[in-house]
Structure 1
């Protein structure tokens, strides 16, 4: 049986492949360089062969309590001068001075320098956080990427091959019309929305003091994992904050204009830049707090998909097609 895609979807899929052909990898599920094919490339073989890959589904009732101390950021100044750049696969803020230091929790007394803060996102109706709680993803997730300060730079940390050479703090957010809006995530999204095309960048200050609250730093899950993009190095100590943060739908929609290509190229939106969930393979997921309250998180309506599902890849194509049509109609 031959499945035929709608004409607009097929055209868009061909457009996606052409516009991304020069990149070694991308996050588009219709592309042979997308997440479903990363592990087939020799230079990215860890993405397919690794046994400690990320992201994962965190089944909260199966996590194990560990008496970790709270995580903590050492800030020389609450406002960190940063370069915000569109990298094509995501937007990222790179601290330039007064770089924050992360320690505590599973990191112990080791000090980790912040390398960047970047976003994975969908929109109000398409959830694209990297991790999932109990089988459900949220609208998006931002990552604070750090590396062990014993290494001179992040490349050396990655090259070490040592578990825990990097530590990443993940914070999941949901777009919803509620009153308890998180200003830290809101500000990060607003700042990131200004770099429309790949290579666009500007310098500004980011208020690190309200990105993650002190309370949140005591409530998190921890596990050993990997980068969620090639080369998928298994050197990451992951900490995922338990609380879901909220932003307004119109705030999340600011990110929909961000493109994967350069200004003079035809390119698709970055929207949906998330990797399929990866198997645990017996890994333990630890939590820093007492008994799990199973009804704390809004479970939403959308179930996550794995790399073997057709719903995720085709669903993304359809959404991109609709976005393209909507943009054309608006401009017309």
Structure 2
């Protein structure tokens, strides 16, 4: 059957089921995939016609140094919530009765943002997975922390439609032996959310400890990377990856899109394709001309330098932050 005919039939079924079930229907491939998100639901039209969409490919030689960018600040206290297998992604959502929230401020943010949820994107192999790309390179996974503008809006649902409503913090994930301590908490319960609809509580998660050990980042104005692609998101991409072990990554790749009775396909490969930049500026707080910036590395024209070496007869990659030549 022709793809267009299939899509018309699919939309007809959406209308029959009702608007309350939109979130059940979109996927990352086929006629319900990213190319069709903007056609499924009028409220998602920005997915097709927006010009400040995310994710993007960050080209290091096009970054603009902004001396006014401050360090990013996250509150130190821990949070609790629930990890969900939604059938599209693995999502951590904060407990609704949380009394002590984590605030996000600094950097490009003119307001205080309140942390709300985490999305985990990953691929079926180590060559793909992250939504944002660096110099054309896709990491095995990307963890995205979302918060909403607490000073102007009441909640995420309101803020996602409003100017400067959302902040998205992007953490690139690379394979390594030094497992991030907060990722260890997630990895310990992956087997409890194997199928769609499964959920499990996660207690005492430190968002601050999840961040890589760097004060350097890139930032741009974009959108959420899931429907409805609202162009109200300020993105912050940290300049170093965090690490996950091969074993934990293997467990993540065992998760399924469907139920236990009808597991469908693996949950991975849940990344939206990179979007056009359309003349947007990507700013950074890395001063390439400052030789005293304490940078641990090396290359001016690459965000992450790739080193390859042999260890136990296996080829591995190490990524270091991109900074100025000394």
Normalising by structure 2, report the TM-score. Answer: 0.77
Measure, in 1, the Cα distance between the counterparts of 2:188 and 2:199.
Answer: 14
* Cα distance change on mapping 1:234 and 1:192 into 2, 3 Å: farther
Q: CA deviation at 1:294?
A: 3.6
User: What is residue 35 of structure 2 aligned with on the other side?
Assistant: 36
Q: In the alignment, is the contact (CA less than 8 A) between 1:124 and 1:252 conserved in 2?
A: no
Q: Is the 8 A contact 1:122 1:129 kept in 2?
A: yes
Work out whether residues 113 and 148 of structure 1, in 8 Å CA contact, stay in contact via their aligned partners in 2.
yes
Cα distance between partner residues in 1 of 2:234 and 2:302: 27
CA change 1:300–1:172 in 2 (3 A) is farther
Contact 2:84 2:90 in 1 (8 A): yes
Is the Cα–Cα contact under 8 Å of residues 169 and 239 in structure 1 kept in the other structure? yes
SS at match of 1:107: coil
Which residue pairs with 2:262 in the alignment?
A: 265
Kindly indicate whether residue 294 of structure 2 is the aligned counterpart of residue 297 of structure 1: no
Q: Determine which of 284, 289, 292 is the counterpart of 1:287.
A: 284
1:190 Cα shift? 3.7
The match for 2:158 is 156
Q: CA deviation at 1:299?
A: 4.5
Of residues 244-253 and 139-148 in structure 1, the stretch that sits farther from structure 2 once superposed is 244-253
**Alignment correspondent of 1:147:** 148
Once the two structures are TM-superposed, the CA of residue 94 in structure 1 deviates from its matched residue by 1.4
Aligned-pair CA distance for 1:81: 1.5
> CA shift at 1:280, angstroms?
0.3
Please list, as runs of the form range in 1=range in 2, the aligned pairs for 1:239-278 lying within 5 A after superposition: 239-278=236-275
Task: Pick the structure with more helix per residue.
Answer: 1
Partner in structure 1 of residue 105 of structure 2:
103
CA contact (8 A) 1:142 1:171 kept: yes
CA contact (8 A) 1:184 1:212 kept: no
Aligned twin of 2:82: 83
- TM-score, normalized by length of structure 1? 0.75
Distance, in Å, in 1 between the alignment partners of 2:124 and 2:262 is 24
Per-residue CA shift, 1:149-173, capped at 9, x if unaligned? 131111111233x1x2100000001
3-state SS in 2 of match to 1:159: coil
Question: 5 Å matches for 1:210-221?
Answer: 210-213=209-212, 215-216=213-214, 218-221=215-218
Q: Could you tell me how far 1:128 is from its partner in structure 2?
A: 1.1
Structure 2 Cα separation of the partners of residues 268 and 127 of structure 1: 17
Structure-2 change in CA distance of 1:181 and 1:200 (3 Å)? closer
**1:124 CA drift (Å):** 4.1
Verify: 1:167 aligned to 2:164, yes or no.
no
Q: Deviations over 1:82-137 (max 9, x none)?
A: 111111111111122232111111113x1111110120001443411000110111
Structure 1 residue 71, shift from structure 2 partner: 0.6
Asked whether the 8 Å contact 1:92–1:192 carries over to 2, the reply is no
The answer (yes or no) to whether the contact 1:190–1:254 under 8 Å persists in 2 is: no
Does the 8 A contact of 2:38 with 2:228 survive in 1? Answer: no
Paired residue for 1:184? 182
Q: Which runs of 5+ in 1 are unaligned?
A: 1-16, 302-332
Partner of 2:25: 24
Question: 1:61 — aligned with what?
Answer: 61
| Distance of 2:208 and 2:80 partners within structure 1 | 13
Instruction: State the secondary structure of the residue aligned to 2:34.
Output: coil
1:225 and 1:124 mapped to 2: Cα distance?
A: 27
Residues 174, 208 of structure 1: alpha-carbon distance in 2 compared, 3 angstrom cutoff: same
Q: Which residue of 2 aligns with 1:46?
A: 46
- Larger fraction in strand: 2
- Asked if the contact 2:195–2:263 (Cα under 8 Å) also holds between the matched residues in 1, the reply is no
What is the RMSD of the two structures over their aligned residues, measured on CA atoms?
2.4
